[in-house]
Each structure stands twice: as C-alpha cells, then as structure tokens.
C-alpha cells in the first residue's frame, strides 16, 4: 500500500515545518478545496487537502494550535468559495471596492470557527496517541465531527449551508441521486469518507485494513453510481395542462433599482411576455423583484399585465410589498395575477438574507460604525409567516421559494400541505459571473432530487432553468443572456422520496452508524 519510503518522506517533510508554515500550508489547502465546488468541480483536490489537514493537525503542540490549524483551513475555503459576495458591494455606490472583500473576510472569520472547533475536539480526542495506530478511528471521528459542523452551520444562527461537501458532486447527475435517500448532508458525509481514504492508506501499517478501506470505497462509489443510473433511467415526463414561459430580461442590477428606469424595465418584461394564442401559455414567470412597483396596490399596472397576457394566462412574479399603517413594513414578496388583473395569491419571503435583507439586532449596533449595516439599498424587510403551498385553479399546488430560501435542505416545503412543484424566483445579478450563480443553481437542483419535485427557476440575469424531479436541467438560459424559456411543467416523482419523509433523521442515523463502527474498531 502507500507505505514505506513515501510515507516517511511526507511525514518527515511535515515534521520540519514550523507552526506558522503549517498554518500557511493549510490556508492554501483550504483555498484549493474551494475549487472543488461549482463551476470548477476539481474533485480530486479533496483527496489531497483533507488528508493533509489531518496529517498536519497531529503535529499540533497544543489545543489552541489545533484549533488554529482547522480555522486557517476553513478560512481559505470560505473566503475563496464566497469571494463572489464581494460583487454585491460593487453595484452599491455607498461602498468602495475593498469593502466587499472586507465583508467576505469577516464572514469567513466567523464560518471558519466551525472547522476550528472540529479540529480542536479531534486533537483532544487523540492527543498522545500514535495516529498510525488509530488512522481509521481518526477518520471516522473527523467525518462525524465535520458533518455535524456542516449541519450546525446550515441550521444555527439563521443558517448558512453554502458549499457543503456534498455539492462537490455537482458535475454528475448520477452521483447526486442518493440525496433522495439521505440528503446533501448525508452525501457530504460519504464524500468526506472517500476523500480521506489516502490518509488511511498513508497511516495504516496493516495490509488488511488498507485492502478493506479500498474495497469499501469501491463499494460505496459503485453503489452510488448504480443507484443513480437506475434513477436516471426514468425519462422526464411533463404535464399537458401547464405550459410555462419563464422571462429572463437580463437587467443590470444598478438599472433594476434606478427610479428613472423602472418604467422601461416594466415595459421590457411586458414585451417579452407576449405570446401567440396558439402557443398555449398558461403561466408567465418573472423573477424576484422583477419590477419595483407595488403590484398589490397598483391596479393600473396589473391591468396592463392582464391586457398583454390575455385572460387565459396568469403571471407569477416577485415584487416589493409595503404596508404604511400603523407603521411602515416591507416584504420581499411573490404574487399571482390572473387574466383579469386580480391578485390571487401572495407569499412573503420567510427566510431572509442576513445583512442583505435585514441586519440581526444583536449585530446592528456593532456594524453600524463600520458602515456595514445593510448591503443593499432601501428598507429592511420583514419576515413572512412560513414556507407554504399556494393553491390556484388551473395550476397544481406550488411551493414558492424566493432566492436564498432554496438553499435550506429539508426546509423548502410545507410538510402538511406538500406541493407538486416548486418555483424559485431569484435575482443573482448581485453576484457577478464568477461562481455564486452556479453554486446557487446546483443547490436548486439538489433540492429537486431531495424532494422528488420539479423546480422552475426564474433568475433576472440567469441562470433560469426548468429542472425535473431528478435534478436534471431540461431547459435553461445561460448567465447574462436575455431570453425566454417555454416549457411544459415536469411531473413530480411517484411518491415522496425517503429524504423528504425523514429529512435530517437519515443523516443523523448515518452518523450514529459511523459512531458505532468507530467504537467497534477501537475495541478490536
């Protein structure tokens, strides 16, 4: 196996590094792991960087250094993976160019605490023990702790489950299919196990253990591939009673909120929404805050919409909603407008973006003196009541998810009133063209697989897409392209997926299983 001189060379070289050099090495390793996510998908770097993290970790001289090693690794991963957030500041004249990078660095400082805690705990668990005699146990413990850290990051303090380990499979429809069983957190757990196979092969002195690890990895990969191929053998089927027209007007972010251009933007959407009667369009879809009129209280705008679309077509769009009495409130909302210009359904965004749509009270005062309160122009939004399913004649029940809401695994549908499809309206114009829009898209596709529901995605500047219940992109419009998608609505899967019925319980069950194996291996 990978033993002997190769192992001695690697470990000897690491032994000669100073603590500061090791921090720099792990910072670089974290940076490299960021390129395993969309749109790059350099998956093999995981099998280099995560083993390196563990090899360096057990060179720590004390608990604080162990925490710092994980923190630097996490900082490199988060800062590089989230660098697209800096673009949001470029479109806001209140901020200079460097402010965005400062904000990304600040966010990365906080997120890296999760990885620092993991490595600190792991070092404590195996302090004083020879890693060569406990390589398998170390890996199992690390995977459990890191996966718990990802789950905590996605659920605590409003949650930010961006770039979870499982999303590195986004290049393969086949390998993503198991998220229908154990969700993205479960896929991330298996991903980390596979990425750490080289660490076990480097450290273990037992040939039988090495062969067992390789055989297990082959079985896991083979099983995932076989399951995925079986699932994808099903063709995409469509409903014949719903035909959608998704409008991507590709309006620049600065132009979008310019009061002088709001009428032109509205007219542009209207023109792009026109259809011939023979096309049979039943629903036209505009993206998040497509126009900045208060459509629920401006009937004249709704009548213009109805006049363009005709009585047999409905509009589904995002818009800003306000209430001025008894006190001013605003919501990032969705509305359905029928062929007579009447409002039929309204949904207010439930899961708001911290610092983008509101500033958490606990941080508002401390950030204000830095000038970093709200990233966006305008008002702070109020929170909607809950995620819910909308019902409307002529349309199967639909769950609405506005932008950021789509990223929360297991939290995208009303379980007491499950929809038959999901609509994600979003405005990714804030996030440039580097990686953010592509990372957002892969999360949308995984939600479709987890829930077994088709998802229609309407993005102001892209990527708009029609996605079937297996996460396959049926039709799409690329980034920064003006156009429309015309497509019938894909059907939902027959029956709910295992994950949609059990959500995080499957993930925690996997971790308990790993913990059981770990205890068993340590006893033998």
| Phi–psi pair at 82, nearest 5 degrees | -110, 10
**Cα–Cα dist 426/449, whole Å:** 19
Per the CB < 8 A criterion, the answer to whether 301 and 293 are in contact is yes
List all residues 6 or more positions away from 240 whose beta carbon is below 8 Å from its beta carbon. 488
| Positions marked active-site | 288, 349, 403
**Cα–Cα dist 410/6, whole Å:** 44
- Helical (H) or strand (E) element with 513: helix 504-523
List all residues 6 or more positions away from 319 whose beta carbon is below 8 Å from its beta carbon. 289, 290, 291, 292, 293, 294, 295, 296, 333, 334, 335
Return the half-sphere exposure (C-beta side, CA atoms, 13 A cut-off) of residue 371. Answer: 10
Q: Which of 461, 465, 458 is nearest to 479 (CA)?
A: 461
Question: Distance from CA of residue 453 to its chain's centroid?
Answer: 17
Helix axes 504-523, 179-195, angle to 10 degrees: 40
Cα dihedral 480, 482, 486, 490 in deg (nearest 10):
10
């Amino acid at each position: 196996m990978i033993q002997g001189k190769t192992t001695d060379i690697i470990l000897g070289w690491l032994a000669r590094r100073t603590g500061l050099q090791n921090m720099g090495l792990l910072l670089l390793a974290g940076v490299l792991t960021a390129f395993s996510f969309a749109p790059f998908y350099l998956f093999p770097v995981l099998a280099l960087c995560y083993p390196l993290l563990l090899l360096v970790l057990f060179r720590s001289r004390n608990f604080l250094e162990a925490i710092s090693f994980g923190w630097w690794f996490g900082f490199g991963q988060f800062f590089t993976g989230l660098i697209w957030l800096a673009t949001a500041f470029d479109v806001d004249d209140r901020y200079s160019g460097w402010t965005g990078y400062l904000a990304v660095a600040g966010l990365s400082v906080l997120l890296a605490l999760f990885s620092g805690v993991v490595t600190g705990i792991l070092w404590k668990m195996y302090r004083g023990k020879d890693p060569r005699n406990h390589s398998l146990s170390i890996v199992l413990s690390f995977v459990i702790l890191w996966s718990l850290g990802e789950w905590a990051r996605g659920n605590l303090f409003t949650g930010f489950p961006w770039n979870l380990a499982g999303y590195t499979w986004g290049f393969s429809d086949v390998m993503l299919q198991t998220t229908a069983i154990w969700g993205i957190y479960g896929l991330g757990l298996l991903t980390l196990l596979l990425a750490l196979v080289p660490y076990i092969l480097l450290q273990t002195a037992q040939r039988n253990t090495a062969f067992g690890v390789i055989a297990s990895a082959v079985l896991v990969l083979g099983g995932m591939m076989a399951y995925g191929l079986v699932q994808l053998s099903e063709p995409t089927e469509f409903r014949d009673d719903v035909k959608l027209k998704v409008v991507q007007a590709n309006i620049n972010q600065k132009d979008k909120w310019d009061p002088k251009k709001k009428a032109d933007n509205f007219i542009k959407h209207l023109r792009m929404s026109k259809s011939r009667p023979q096309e049979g369009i039943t629903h036209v879809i505009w993206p998040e805050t497509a126009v900045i009129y208060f459509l629920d209280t401006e009937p004249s705008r709704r009548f213009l919409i109805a006049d363009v679309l005709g009585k047999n077509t409905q509009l589904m769009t995002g818009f800003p909603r306000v209430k001025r009495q008894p006190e001013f409130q605003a919501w990032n909302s969705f509305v359905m407008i029928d062929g007579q210009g009447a409002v039929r359904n309204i949904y207010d965004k439930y899961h708001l973006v911290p610092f983008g749509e509101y500033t958490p009270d606990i941080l508002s005062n401390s950030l204000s003196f830095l000038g970093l309160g709200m990233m966006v122009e305008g008002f702070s939004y109020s929170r909607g009541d809950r995620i819910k399913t909308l019902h409307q004649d002529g349309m199967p029940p639909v769950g609405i998810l506005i932008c950021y809401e789509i990223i929360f695994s297991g939290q995208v549908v009303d379980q007491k009133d499950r929809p038959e499809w999901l609509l994600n309206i979003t405005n990714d114009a804030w996030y440039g063209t580097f990686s953010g829009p592509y990372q957002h898209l892969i999360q949308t596709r995984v939600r479709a697989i987890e829930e077994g529901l088709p998802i229609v995605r309407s993005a102001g500047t892209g990527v708009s897409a029609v996605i079937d219940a297996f996460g396959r992109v049926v039709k799409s419009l690329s980034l920064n392209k003006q156009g429309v998608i015309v497509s019938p609505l894909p059907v939902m899967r027959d029956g709910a997926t295992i994950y949609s019925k059990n959500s995080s319980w499957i993930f925690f069950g996997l971790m308990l299983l790993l913990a059981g194996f770990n205890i068993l291996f340590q006893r033998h």
